[in-house]
Chains A and B, each alone.
Chain A
Amino acid sequence: MEEPIIQLRSITKVYRVGVETIHALRGVDLDIGRNEMVAIMGSSGSGKSTLMNTLGCLDRPSTGEYVLGGKLVSAMKADELALVRNEEIGFVFQSFELLPRQTALENVELPLLYSATGGSASARRRRALEALQRVGLGKRVDHRPNQLSGGQKQRVAIARAILNNPRILMADEPTGNLDSATTTEILALFTALNHGGQTIIIVTHENDVAAHCRRVVRLRDGRILSDLPAEEDAEVAPYVAGARETQRAQLEAQGAAA
């Protein structure tokens, strides 16, 4: 079998707030292979975002080993991690995180600003344009974020994330701020990218979103509760402890959006 891109071994993450100690991750082992599309689910506070930040090299685990593409990133220094984030990881955030005064194109170009190998200004521009075309926004390059819809903003963010052809594309609740029709669009885009060979990890509360993935990892209280192919997960989902909370959160989210 091919070596997995991501290998997590006994990852823990401990936060200290005042005298309190919070165990956000309590020993996670996880392998993710090339071209997988994985959903990470779990109730609020179960450690999804913490796991995601660790996977995305935004944060280092308290203990445990993380090997990304053969490199032991859990032992890297901050500047090395920045380089890994720049070249090997693409992030998509729930709230898009676009720079308001920059055009779509400039937003997409952003990662190239911090890379030493971006090529000439025109090469950078061409790459950013290609990325925008891949997400279907080839005609909106000069629009600023406030001139774009929510779905379009998230497309710009996805274009930015895939610009450097990262090993992994990570999305923390990418559809959390979108309506259901737009959610479907964005998921279709992720699926297309995945069919194009992109490894994708999506953190989500929504079973519909998870259903688009091929594998679903469920967390509870900082541990992996289940790790199943999507079809199987759908069958057991109603019986998984904590699913009710998940549903409640989902309802709340919908209520808030309405």
Chain B
Amino acid sequence: MKLSGFFFLKSVSMALSQIWANKARSFLTALGIIVGVASVTAVIAALTGLKAKVLSEFESVGAARLYVFPNRPDNAPRTKFPWEKCRLNVNEARAIMEQCPSVKGISPIVDVPMSVESDSELIEGMSVSGIWPAWHDAVGRKVLRGRPFSAIDVDTARQVALVNQAAVDELKLDREGSGGVGEYVLLGGRRFLVVGVVETLQARMFGMNSSQAEIFVPFSVAEKVLSGWYFMQFVALARGPEVAEEAQAEIEYVMRRTRGLQPGDPDTFRVAAIDQYINQFKSMAAGVTAIAGGIVGISLLVGGIGIMNIMLVSVSERTREIGLRKAVGATSTAILLQFLLEAVTLTVLGGMVGLVIGKAMAIGLTLIPGANLEKADVPIWAIAVSLVFSAGVGVAFGMFPAIKASRLDPIEALRHE
């Protein structure tokens, strides 16, 4: 059987007039779809905005940055890889610096808890980080006042310190407009000259520390007080974002060689590029999208049942009409298609209304101050997926009523009261 393009056009226009004639009923029926699509659109818009925000933050941080962590291999016997063998050693940082051509700079970072004292304040158990001068470049933190660490500070283990602005405030170092530079602090009972102030990180991305105060000392100084357990990591800077992967491979190679790992032995360390954090974030966002999708699936299911119900009502209300259409030559397929198209028109219209509401909600989200959602937007793919799903619901739930309509016997239908 052949159906003309006219048939499809006319069927859709009839579906629209049918929907228009029963405005209130159609609206209530499509409400499930509208709410479902609107909420998923808003959730996706929010996620998209958050993602854009986070990614741009990562980018400003720099894609050339690499971290090296100790890492005890999973599933490996504890006896073969004790923690001491995994721990990073500062000599490994030196080896990386000397042997990795793609690495521009590297700095160990070791955190030592110490009591910190200024003239007026005392803070116990504050984390003091030992670093090399390359740290400034590698993590991209500039000095606001004073000067950064120099090689001499490290080589001669000078008792100098860098503090961040938060530490200046918490330790009340800003006397007489010095801004903290030139003041002294006591670290574990030794006097340190504050040579520079670095900017305080905005909110730390994944950190929850209530105190944002940080103090840095030359690595060689920190090394002297190290005993027993400590945690060291390296931060390295590749010569450019484009060689970040090479740098990562080189570091892995040098680390394995320095540690004397045999082929087949697992890595006892981990080299992480910022990319991997981005991927982690992306997969988290995908997870949230999937959950939102599940919720929408349920609301579409509920909406679909409503559609099925109203279409069954429509079929029985229009039994005589169906009989007449068959009498003037409509085949079962034609009737089936007409009712399916009507259901699909209803759900797609519902989907469109939902999209408009979702878009409005997305615009609303961008206006919430401090929500970090100023980039919230509805991506094209979400529009396409919403419409396809709406149409799918129309087909799935309109099918049974449409089959019922198509199977009606023309004479019986015409005799229907």
Q: How far is the CB of A111 from chain B (nearest CB, A)?
A: 4
Contact A160 B17 (CB under 8 A): no
Render A74-94 as a binary contact track against B, CB cut-off 8 A, 1 for contact. 000011001101110001010
| Interface flags, B1-18, vs A, CB<8A=1, else 0 | 111101100100000011
The answer for the CA separation of A207 and B327 in the assembled complex, in Å, is 27
Known: A79-B1, A97-B324. A87 touches B329 (CB 8 A): yes
Asked, given contacts A97-B320, A113-B7, whether A83 binds B411 with beta carbons under 8 Å apart, the answer is no
Confirm or deny: A192 has a beta carbon within 8 angstroms of a beta carbon on chain B: no
Selected interface stretch from B73-81, B217-225, B331-339, B390-398: B331-339
B10 — nearest CB in chain A belongs to which residue?
A113
Q: Verify B414–A114 contact, CB threshold 8 A.
A: no
Tell me if B330 is interfacial: C-beta within 8 Å of chain A.
yes
A14 close to B (CB within 8 Å) = no
Nearest CB in chain B to that of A87: its residue: B329
B321 within 8 A of A: yes
Does B371 belong to the interface (CB within 8 Å)?
Answer: no
CB distance from B15 to the nearest CB of A (A): 12
Chain B: which residue is nearest A157 at the CB level?
B324
Whole-angstrom CA separation of A114 from B21 in the bound complex: 23
CA distance A78 to B320 in the complex (A): 18
From the candidates A56, A83, A110, A116, name the one contacting B3 in the complex (CB within 8 A): A116
| Distance A203 CA – B329 CA, assembled complex (angstroms) | 21
Q: Is the CB of A78 within 8 A of B332?
A: yes
Q: Return the chain B residue nearest A97 by Cβ.
A: B324
Contact A114:B330 (CB < 8 A) given known A53-B411, A97-B414, A101-B17: yes
B324 proximity list for chain A (CB < 8 A): 93, 97, 99, 110
Measured CA separation A198–B92 after assembly (Å): 104
Supposing A99-B324, A113-B6 touch, asked if A58 and B329 sit within 8 A by C-beta, the answer is no
B357: min CB distance to chain A, Å: 29
Question: Are A111 and B414 touching (Cβ within 8 A)?
Answer: no
Contact with B along A91-125 (1 / 0, CB 8 A): 10100010101000000001111111010010010
Which partner residue on chain A sits nearest B11 by CB separation? A113
With known contacts A58-B411, A93-B414, A115–B321 Cβ distance under 8 A: no
What's the Cα separation between A91 and B414 when bound, in Å?
A: 12
> Are B329 and A83 touching (Cβ within 8 A)?
yes
| Cβ-defined contact, B6 with A86, below 8 A | no
> What is the CB-to-nearest-CB distance from A15 to chain B, in angstroms, rounded to a whole number?
11
Q: Are A114 and B331 in contact (CB under 8 A)?
A: yes
**Shortest Cβ distance from B20 into A: residue:** A101
Q: Which residue of B lies closest to A112 (CB)?
A: B6
Contact A111 B6, beta carbon cutoff 8 Å: no
Q: Chain A residues near B4 (CB, 8 Å)?
A: 115-116, 118
Q: Report yes or no: A114 in contact with B328, Cβ–Cβ below 8 A.
A: yes
State the interface size on chain B (CB cutoff 8 A): 27
Q: How far is the CA of A3 from the CA of B414 in the complex (A)?
A: 32
Given the complex, which residues of A lie within 8 Å of B321, measured CB to CB?
Answer: 99
Give every chain B residue within 8 A of A58 (Cβ-Cβ). Answer: 326-327, 410-411
CB distance from B323 to the nearest CB of A (A): 8
Bound Cα distance from A97 to B324, whole angstroms: 7
Least CB distance from A36 to B in Å reads: 22
Q: Is the CB of B328 within 8 A of A86?
A: yes
Interface pair B6/A114, CB less than 8 Å apart: no
> Residues of B contacting A83 with CB < 8 Å?
1, 329, 331
The complex places the Cα of A37 from the Cα of B327 at a distance, in Å, of 21
Bound-state Cα–Cα, A185 to B332, Å: 36
Q: Is the CB of A118 within 8 A of B329?
A: no
**CB proximity of B153 to chain A, nearest CB, Å:** 86
A141 CA to B330 CA, complexed, in Å: 23
Q: Which of B157-214 contact A (CB under 8 A)?
A: none
Check: B136 CB closer than 8 A to any chain A CB.
Answer: no
Q: A59-B411, A121-B6 are in contact. Are A114 and B325 (CB under 8 A)?
A: yes
Using Cβ atoms and an 8 Å threshold, which residues of chain B touch A124?
A: 6
- Identify B21's interface contact among A87, A101, A112, CB under 8 A: A101
| Contact of B329 with A85 in the complex, beta carbons under 8 Å | yes
With A and B bound together, what is the CA distance between A113 and B2 in angstroms? Answer: 11
Interface residue from A53, A93, A111 paired with B329 (Cβ < 8 Å): A111
When C-beta atoms are compared, the residue in chain B nearest to A110 turns out to be B328
Q: Is the Cβ of A116 less than 8 Å from the Cβ of B414?
A: no
List A contacts of B320 (CB < 8 A): 97
Q: Which residues of A contact B327 (CB under 8 A)?
A: 56, 58, 85, 91, 97
A111 touches B3 (CB 8 A): no
Enumerate chain B residues within 8 angstroms of A114, measured Cβ to Cβ.
Answer: 3, 7, 325, 328-331, 334
**A85 pairs with B6, CB closer than 8 A:** no
**Contact partners of B326 in chain A: CB under 8 A:** 58, 82, 85
| Closest partner residue, chain B, to A83 (CB atom) | B329
Cβ B333 vs Cβ A118 within 8 A: no
Which B residues lie within 8 Å of A113 (CB)? 6-7, 10, 330
Look across to chain B and name the residue whose beta carbon is closest to the beta carbon of A116.
B2
Tell me which residues across on chain B come within 8 A of A115, comparing CB atoms.
4, 329
CB distance from B199 to the nearest CB of A (A): 70
Q: Provide the residues of chain B in CB contact with A82, threshold 8 Å.
A: 326, 329-332, 334
Q: Shortest beta-carbon distance, A130 to chain B, in Å?
A: 17
> B residues within 8 A CB of A111?
328-329
Q: Are B325 and A79 in contact (CB under 8 A)?
A: no
Q: Which residues of B contact A78 (CB under 8 A)?
A: 331-332
Binary flags per residue of A193-231, CB closer than 8 Å to B gives 1, else 0: 000000000000000000000000000000000000000
Chain A residues with a Cβ under 8 A of chain B: 53, 56, 58-59, 78-79, 82-83, 85-87, 91, 93, 97, 99, 101, 110-116, 118, 121, 124, 160
8 tightest Cβ-Cβ pairs between the two chains A and B: A86-B329, A116-B2, A114-B329, A111-B328, A82-B331, A97-B324, A114-B330, A85-B329
- List, sorted by A's number, 23 A–B pairs whose CB atoms are closer than 8 Å: A58-B411, A59-B411, A78-B331, A78-B332, A79-B1, A82-B326, A82-B330, A82-B332, A85-B326, A86-B330, A87-B329, A97-B323, A97-B414, A99-B321, A99-B324, A112-B6, A113-B10, A114-B3, A114-B325, A114-B334, A116-B1, A116-B3, A118-B6
Q: A79-B333, A113-B7, A114-B334 are in contact. List 7 more A-B contacts (CB 8 A).
A: A79-B331, A82-B330, A83-B331, A85-B328, A86-B328, A86-B329, A97-B324
